[in-house]
Amino acid sequence: MTTASATPPTPAPAVRATAHGYPRQGPQRELKKAVEGYWKGRVQAAELHDTAARLRREAWLELAAAGLTEVPTGQFSYYDHVLDTSVMLGAVPERHRAAHEADPLDGYFAMARGTQDVAPLEMTKWFDTNYHYLVPELGPGTAFTADPGAQLAQYREAAALGLAARPVLVGPITYLLLAKPAPGVAPGVAPGFEPLTLLDRLLPAYAAVLAELKAAGAEWVQLDEPALVQDRTPAELGAAARAYRELGALTDRPKLLVASYFDRLGEALPVLAAAPVEGLALDFTGRAARNLEDLAAAGGIPGKRLVAGVVDGRNVWVNDLKRSLTTLGTLLGLAGQVDVAPSCSLLHVPLDVAAERDLDPQVARWLAFARQKTAETATLARGLAAGTGVIAAELAANRAALASRAGSALTRDPAVRARAAAVSAADARRALPYAERSLAQRARLGLPPLPTTTIGSFPQTAELRAARADLRAGRIDAAGYEERIAAEIREVIGFQEKTGIDVLVHGEPERNDMVQYFAERLSGYLATQHGWVQSYGTRYVRPPILAGDISRPQPMTVRWTSYAQSLTGLPVKGMLTGPVTMLAWSFVRDDQPLGDTARQVALALRDEVADLEAAGTSVIQVDEPALRETLPLRAADRAAYLEWATESFRLTTAGVRPDTQIHTHMCYAEFGDVLRAIEELDADVISLEAARSHMQVARELAGAGYPREVGPGVYDIHSPRVPSTEEAVALLREGLRAIPAERLWVNPDCGLKTRGWAETRTSLEHLVAAARTVREEL
C-alpha cells in the first residue's frame, strides 16, 4: 500500500462533498409532531405533506450551504425508507392492498403500524444500528411494479432549488436479503422460499425507476447495498454480480453509485469493482477501515467514482481530519474520482451539538453530530481539492479538539485505569461452580419447585410519568417525587405478595429507561438535551454518550431495592442493566477498544452488585437484552466480541457469595448465535422470551446441554392479551419436557412497563395458578 502525505500530491480538480442521508425529523422534531398529529386527526394530509416538503427543502439548503456539492434525495421518509422501497416496488402485502389503494398515505401507515384488524409489517433492526425498519414480505406470487412517484417528487424538489441531487434507493440485493417470506408462504406453498429468487422479477422494476429518474434529470442514482458487508454465500455474491451486470447494461439509465457501509465489503468488493457501474461508496471508518487495504489489493477502481466514507456517520466524535486526509490521499491513487462523505446516512446521529447548552464547552468540542459532520465532510473535500493550506484554520482547531479529548481528566481517570488494568481472570469467575452454588442458593432461598418471578418492571403508569414531569417542571420537589415512587413500590410489593409470587421485584418505577437511568448516575457518561435519534417511525431516543472513564460515585439502586425488601419477608430481586446493553444503547468511545469500555462499566456495576448484596439482596438480575443484537456483522469478528461481552458480564456478577443467585434476562427467542455465550455468562438463572414460540428456547438450551436454571416466558407481554391459566399450564408442561422441574422458572417474557395494570394483574394471577397446578403434577 502506498502511503501519502496529508497534502495530496496532485490536487484533484473537482472533489465533491456529499452525504448518504440526513436526520429526517427537523430541528424541533417537526416531522414527528406532524405525523403523530395526522394519526390523531389533528393535522390534515396536505399540511403533513407541506411540513415534510419544507423540512426536506431546509435540510438540502442547509447541506448545500455547508459545502456539500451533491445532496441526497429520497431519504426523507414519513416512517421508514425500507417501507418506502416496498411501496416504490409495489410490494404491498395482500392484507394491506385494499387500504393502500383506497388511500396511499393511510395504507402506508397501516403497513407501518397495523390497524385494529390488520397486522403491521414486522419491524427489526437495521443491521447492527439502533434504527428499525419494516421487513418486506415477499412470496412466490409477488409481482413487482415501479411506482417511483415519491423518489421523482423529491428529486424534482431538490433540482428545482438549483442543487445537484442524487436519489438514494435501497439496492435490489439488500432489499431481497432483508425481506422475509410473506406469512403463510413458507410451509406448504413454497417450502424454503427465498426472496432472493425473485431477483429476475425485481430488476425490471428497478430498471423502470432508474429510467424515470434519468428522464427527470438525475445524473447519478445511488443504490445502497449494506447487506453486502455481511458474510454472503457464493450464490448471493453471484446474484449481486448478476444484478449489477444487468442494471449496468441498461442503456436508459443514470450513472450508478453502489453504496456500502457499516463494515468492509470483503469478498463483495471484487464483485462490485468488476460490475459495469460508474461508482462505489465505501466506509473507511472503524472496523470498515480494512476496505482501504482491500481496495488497494484489488487494484482500485480506476476510472470510477469513489465516494469515500471517512467521517463516521454513526458515532458522535469529531473526525481526525489529518488522518482522513491521509486516507483520502491514498484513495486518490485508487479511483478515477474521489469524493468525500460520511460513512453512512447521518440518520444515526443527532442533529446539532450546538443545541446542547448544558454540555461543558470543553467536552462539546469533542463531539460532532450531523451538522458538524457535514461541515467536516465539506472541509475535507476542500482540503483534498485545493491542498491543506486552505483548511489550515480548521485543521488547527481540530488538532486542539483532539488533544483536549486525549488529555482530559474525563477520558483518563487514573483510578479507573489502574483498577481495570489490575483485573485478573479470577475476578471474572465465581468462587464455586454452578452445581455447588445452586445447593447453597436452594438452602438460602427455600423456593418451591417452578418458582415464579417477573422480569423487573411493572406498569409505567401515567401517574408515574406525570410525577417525573412534575419533578422536572418543579411542580413537586425531590421529596414529593420520592414519596410517589415509594407508594408505587408498596403497591407493587403488596400485589406480588397477595398474588403468591415467589421472588419479588420492586417494579422499577424510578427508571425512565433501563440505560439512561444508570448513565445519569455513572461518571464518564454524558446526557444530551436534544440528541434525538430515530429508533423507528416517530419514535426517537436520546442515547447517552460514553465519553470518559466510567466510575460510580455512589450506589444507584440500593435505596429502592432495600426499601422494597423492608416491606416483605420474601426475596426481592435487585435489578441492573448489564455492561453490554449499556454500551449497545449508548454512543461509545472510539478512542479505545469496546472491550475496555465494557470492562470499566462492568467494574462500576460490580460495585453496585456488591452493595446490593451487602444490603441483604439474595437475588440479583443483570439484564443483557442487547447481547445478541451487538453481535458483529461478520462471523470472523464474533469470537472476539463474545469474549469481552461475556467477560464483562462475569466481571459484573462474579464477586458475589455462592449463595447469592445471579439472574440474567434477554428478550428474544432466536438466540442460536449466542447459545455458547449464554453458557459463558455463568448466570445461575436466565429468563428468555418464549411464549410465542411455545418454549422453543427451552428445547434449544436443553439440546445444547445447558446445565443451569431457565425461565422461558409463559406470558407474551408484547400484547395486552391475558393468557389463560390453561395456556400457561400447557406451556409449562412443554417446558418441563426440556428442562427438569428443579431448574425451571415461571415468568413472563419480559418486563411489564408497557402494560396496563388491569391485564398485568390477571395475567400474573394466571401465571401463579398455572405454576401451582403444574407443581401438583410433579
Nearer to ligand GLN, 459 or 548 (CB): 459
Q: Binding to ligand GLN by residue 579, rule CB under 6 A?
A: no
Minimum distance, C-beta of residue 585 to ligand GLN, in the bound complex (Å):
10
Contact flag: residue 506 with ligand GLN (CB under 6 A): no
Which of 8, 342, 531, 625 is in the footprint of ligand GLN by CB under 6 A?
625
Instruction: HSE, CB side, 13 Å, CA atoms: give it for residue 405.
Output: 22
Which residues participate in the annotated binding site for L-homocysteine? 455-457, 508, 623
The single residue among 66, 146, 328, 514 that binds ligand GLN, judged by CB under 6 A, is 514
Handedness of CA 432, 435, 441, 443 (dihedral sign): negative
- Which residues define the annotated binding site for 5-methyltetrahydropteroyltri-L-glutamate? 29-32, 125, 585, 629
Q: What is the dihedral of CA 18, 19, 20, 25, to 10 degrees?
A: -140
750 binds Zn ion (CB under 5 A): yes
Figure out which of the listed residues 309, 456, 459, 735 binds ligand GLN, where binding follows CB under 6 A.
Answer: 456
Q: Which residues contact 670 (CB under 8 A, 6 or more apart)?
A: none
Closer by beta carbon to ligand GLN, 384 or else 686: 686
Q: Residue 389 class from Cβ within 10 Å (0-12 exposed, 13-18 middle, 19+ buried)?
A: exposed
Q: Contact with ligand GLN (CB under 6 A): which of 457, 516, 653, 763?
A: 457
Catalytic residue among 96, 663, 718, 766: 718
Closer residue to Zn ion in complex, CB, 210/750:
750
Site for ligand GLN contains 662 (CB under 6 A): no
What CA dihedral angle connects 466, 470, 473 and 475, to 10 degrees? 150
**Rounded to an integer, what distance in angstroms lies between the CA atom of residue 526 and that of residue 634?**
30
Binding residues: 29-32, 125, 455-457, 508, 585, 623, 629, 665, 667, 689, 750
Helix (H) / strand (E) element for 188: namely none
Do 27 and 371 form a contact (C-beta atoms < 8 A)? Answer: no
DSSP symbols for 150-175: HHHHHHHHHHHTT--EEEEEE-HHHH
- Distance, in Å, from the CA atom of 326 to the CA atom of 632, rounded to the nearest integer, reads 27
Q: Pairing between strand 132-134 and 71-73?
A: unpaired
* CB closer to Zn ion, 168 vs 669: 669
Residues binding ligand GLN: number (CB under 6 A): 13
Query: 136 or 456, CB closer to ligand GLN?
Result: 456
CA distances from 709 to 37, 168, 442, 712, 745 (A): 47, 49, 12, 10, 7
The nearest distance, CB 62 to Zn ion, in angstroms, is: 39
Q: Three-class SS of residue 380?
A: helix
Between 342 and 713, whose beta carbon lies closer to ligand GLN?
713
Residue 667, interface with Zn ion (CB under 5 A)? yes
User: Binders of Zn ion among 133-152, rule CB under 5 A?
Assistant: none
Per-residue contact string for residues 737-756; x = within reach of ligand GLN by CB under 6 A: -------------xx-x---
The 3-state secondary structure of 451-492 reads CEECCCECCCCHHHHHHHHHHHCCCCCHHHHHHHHHHHHHHH
Dihedral over Cα of 586, 590, 592, 595: its sign: positive
Task: List the single partner that 456 binds among Zn ion, ligand GLN, none, CB under 5 to 8 Å by kind.
Answer: ligand GLN
Nearest CB to ligand GLN, comparing residues 194 and 513: 513
Q: For the residues of 689-744, what is the DSSP string, one character each?
A: --TTTTTHHHHHHHHTT--SEEEE-SS-TTSSPPPPHHHHHHHHHHHHHHS-GGGB
Residue 101: how many other CB atoms lie within 10 Å: 10
> Residue 626, interface with ligand GLN (CB under 6 A)?
no
Residue with the CB atom nearest ligand GLN in the bound state: 751
711 contacts ligand GLN (rule: CB under 6 A): no
Strand partners, 621: 575, 663
> Considering the rule CB under 6 A, would residue 575 count as an interface residue with ligand GLN?
yes
- Residue type at 95? R
If the CB atoms of residues 438 and 457 are measured against ligand GLN, the closer one turns out to be 457
Shortest distance, position 646 Cβ to ligand GLN, whole Å: 18
CB 766, min distance to ligand GLN, A:
19
Minimum CB separation from ligand GLN for residue 391, in Å? 45
Instruction: With contacts defined by CB under 5 A, name the span among 15-23, 312-320, 364-372, 664-672 that binds Zn ion.
Output: 664-672
Q: Tell me the window of 183-191, 204-212, 563-571, 618-626 that interacts with Zn ion (CB under 5 A).
A: 618-626
Query: Quick one: DSSP state of residue 369?
Result: -
Under 8 Å between Cβ of 471 and 481? yes
Does residue 623 interact with ligand GLN by CB under 6 A? Answer: yes
Active-site residue 20, yes or no?
A: no
In the complex, the residues that contact ligand GLN under the rule CB under 6 A are 455-457, 508, 514, 575, 623, 625, 665, 667, 750-751, 753
In the complex, the residues that contact Zn ion under the rule CB under 5 A are 625, 667, 750
Catalytic residues: 718
